[in-house]
Structure 1
Amino acid sequence: MRVFTAVLLLLPCAFSLNLLMYVNVIGKSHLQFAEKLIALLNDHGHNVDVIMGMLNSYVSLKGSYGARNLVVVQFPGESPWGAVAHHLNNPFDEQSDWNRLKIESNKFLDTTEMLCDLLLVSFDVEQLLSTNRYDLALITGYDFCPFALAHYHKISPVVSYVPTPAAYAQTYYAGLPELPLYENIVFDERHDGRSTFSSRIFETLRTFKDRYYHFQNALAINNKVCARFGDDFPDVRDIAMNVSIDFTNSHPLLEEPRPISHRIRYIGGVGLPMPKPLSKELDQLLDISKKGNVIFSFGTQIGPDKISDELQHIFIDTFKRFPEFNFIWKFDGVKQMNATNIFNLDWLPQTDMLYDSRVVAFITHMGLNSFTETAFAGVPVVMIPFFADQVHNARRASAIGIGEIVRKSEITEDNLHHALEKVLVDERYRLRARELSAMISALPDTPQRVFLEGIEFAAKFKHLSSHYRLVGANHNFLVQIGWDVAAFLTVSLLISIYFATTLTIFVLKTLSTGVYVKRKTD
Structure 2
Amino acid sequence: MRFLPLLFLLPCALSLNILMYVNVIGKSHLQFADKLIELLNKNDHKVDVIMGMLNSLVSLKGSHGARKIIPVHFPGGESPWGSVADHLNNPFVENSNWNPFSMGFAKFIETSEQLCELILDSPEVSSLLSSTQYDVALLTGYDFCPFALAHHYKISKVVSYVPTPSCHIQNYYGGLPDLPLYENMVLDTMHTDRSFFGTRIFETLRTMKDRYVHYTAYTSMNEKLRARFGDSFPDVREISKNISIDFTNSHPLLEEPKPISLRLRYIGGIGLPTPKPLKKELNEILNLSKKGNVLFSFGTQIGPEKITDDMQRVFINTFKRFPEYNFLWKFDGKTQMNASNIFNLDWLPQTDLLYDSRVIGFITHVGLNSFTETSLAGVPIVSIPLFADQLHNAKRATALGTGIMVRKTEITEENLSRALEKILYDERYGRRAKEIASMVSSLPDTPQRIFIEGIEFAAKFEHLSSHYRLIGANHNFFIQTGWDVAAFFTLLLLVLFYSTVKTTLFILRNLPVKVFWKRKMD
Under a length normalisation based on structure 1, what TM-score does the superposition of the two structures give?
A: 0.95
- Equivalent-residue separation in structure 2 for 1:512 and 1:98 (angstroms): 57
- Equivalent-residue separation in structure 1 for 2:489 and 2:336 (angstroms): 68
Query: What secondary structure is seen at the aligned counterpart in 2 of 1:316?
Result: helix
Equivalent residue for 1:228? 228
Deviations 1:84-127 (A, max 9, x none): 42222222122442465889972211221222222222222211
2:266 alignment partner AA? Y
**C-alpha contact 2:208 2:477 (8 A) present in aligned 1:** no
1:106 aligns with 2:140: no
Equivalent residue for 1:332? 332
Sort the Cα spacing of 1:445 and 1:105 in 2 relative to 1 into closer, same or farther, 3 A: closer
Query: What secondary structure is seen at the aligned counterpart in 2 of 1:120?
Result: helix
Segments of 5+ residues of structure 1 without an aligned counterpart are none
Segments of 5+ residues of structure 2 without an aligned counterpart are none
Equivalent residue for 2:44? 45
- Equivalent-residue separation in structure 2 for 1:8 and 1:285 (angstroms): 54
Query: What secondary structure is seen at the aligned counterpart in 2 of 1:108?
Result: helix
Equivalent residue for 2:61? 62
1:256 aligns with 2:256: yes
**C-alpha contact 2:98 2:206 (8 A) present in aligned 1:** no
Query: What secondary structure is seen at the aligned counterpart in 2 of 1:503?
Result: helix
Equivalent residue for 1:219? 219
The offset of 1:201, in angstroms, is 2.1
1:49 alignment partner AA? D
Deviations 1:345-381 (A, max 9, x none): 1101000000000000000000001101100100000
Residues 50-449 of structure 1: pairs in structure 2 closer than 5 A: 50-77=49-76, 78-98=78-98, 100=100, 106-449=106-449
**C-alpha contact 1:19 1:47 (8 A) present in aligned 2:** yes
Sort the Cα spacing of 1:103 and 1:255 in 2 relative to 1 into closer, same or farther, 3 A: closer
Sort the Cα spacing of 1:429 and 1:105 in 2 relative to 1 into closer, same or farther, 3 A: closer
The offset of 1:197, in angstroms, is 2.3
The offset of 1:83, in angstroms, is 4.6
- Equivalent-residue separation in structure 2 for 1:488 and 1:80 (angstroms): 48
- Equivalent-residue separation in structure 2 for 1:9 and 1:164 (angstroms): 39
Sort the Cα spacing of 1:412 and 1:448 in 2 relative to 1 into closer, same or farther, 3 A: same
Query: What secondary structure is seen at the aligned counterpart in 2 of 1:22?
Result: strand
Deviations 1:4-58 (A, max 9, x none): 9x99998554411000001111111111111111111111111001111111122
**C-alpha contact 1:120 1:228 (8 A) present in aligned 2:** no
- Equivalent-residue separation in structure 1 for 2:481 and 2:347 (angstroms): 48
Query: What secondary structure is seen at the aligned counterpart in 2 of 1:233?
Result: coil
**C-alpha contact 1:142 1:169 (8 A) present in aligned 2:** yes
- Equivalent-residue separation in structure 2 for 1:289 and 1:54 (angstroms): 44
Query: Could you say what the CA RMSD is over the residues aligned between the two structures, in angstroms?
Result: 2.0
2:200 alignment partner AA? R
Query: What secondary structure is seen at the aligned counterpart in 2 of 1:19?
Result: strand
- Equivalent-residue separation in structure 1 for 2:505 and 2:491 (angstroms): 21
Equivalent residue for 1:28? 27
**Greater mean deviation of Cα atoms: 9-18 or 239-248:** 9-18
Equivalent residue for 1:16? 15
Query: What secondary structure is seen at the aligned counterpart in 2 of 1:170?
Result: helix
Sort the Cα spacing of 1:105 and 1:291 in 2 relative to 1 into closer, same or farther, 3 A: closer
**C-alpha contact 2:51 2:70 (8 A) present in aligned 1:** yes
Deviations 1:276-328 (A, max 9, x none): 00001111111111111001001111111111111111111111111111111
**Greater mean deviation of Cα atoms: 255-264 or 305-314:** 305-314
Query: What secondary structure is seen at the aligned counterpart in 2 of 1:287?
Result: helix
2:471 alignment partner AA? V
The offset of 1:141, in angstroms, is 0.6
- Equivalent-residue separation in structure 2 for 1:105 and 1:372 (angstroms): 26
Query: What secondary structure is seen at the aligned counterpart in 1 of 2:218?
Result: helix
Sort the Cα spacing of 1:337 and 1:305 in 2 relative to 1 into closer, same or farther, 3 A: same
**Greater mean deviation of Cα atoms: 220-229 or 341-350:** 220-229
Deviations 1:371-395 (A, max 9, x none): 0110010000000001000000000
- Equivalent-residue separation in structure 2 for 1:206 and 1:144 (angstroms): 23
Identity among equivalent positions (%) equals 68
The offset of 1:220, in angstroms, is 1.8
The offset of 1:194, in angstroms, is 2.2
Count of residues in Structure 1 that have an aligned counterpart in Structure 2: 519
Query: What secondary structure is seen at the aligned counterpart in 2 of 1:72?
Result: strand
**C-alpha contact 1:84 1:108 (8 A) present in aligned 2:** no
Sort the Cα spacing of 1:143 and 1:101 in 2 relative to 1 into closer, same or farther, 3 A: closer
Deviations 1:135-156 (A, max 9, x none): 0000001111110111111112
Sort the Cα spacing of 1:305 and 1:449 in 2 relative to 1 into closer, same or farther, 3 A: same
- Equivalent-residue separation in structure 2 for 1:124 and 1:506 (angstroms): 80
**C-alpha contact 1:382 1:420 (8 A) present in aligned 2:** yes
Equivalent residue for 2:507? 507
1:25 alignment partner AA? V
**Greater mean deviation of Cα atoms: 464-473 or 192-201:** 192-201
Query: What secondary structure is seen at the aligned counterpart in 1 of 2:75?
Result: coil
**Greater mean deviation of Cα atoms: 420-429 or 205-214:** 205-214
Deviations 1:231-277 (A, max 9, x none): 11222111111110000000000001000100000000000000000
- Equivalent-residue separation in structure 1 for 2:307 and 2:219 (angstroms): 41
- Equivalent-residue separation in structure 2 for 1:430 and 1:136 (angstroms): 44
Query: What secondary structure is seen at the aligned counterpart in 2 of 1:216?
Result: helix
- Equivalent-residue separation in structure 2 for 1:7 and 1:373 (angstroms): 42
**C-alpha contact 1:385 1:394 (8 A) present in aligned 2:** yes
- Equivalent-residue separation in structure 1 for 2:446 and 2:6 (angstroms): 24
**C-alpha contact 2:141 2:161 (8 A) present in aligned 1:** yes
- Equivalent-residue separation in structure 2 for 1:217 and 1:121 (angstroms): 22
Equivalent residue for 2:462? 462
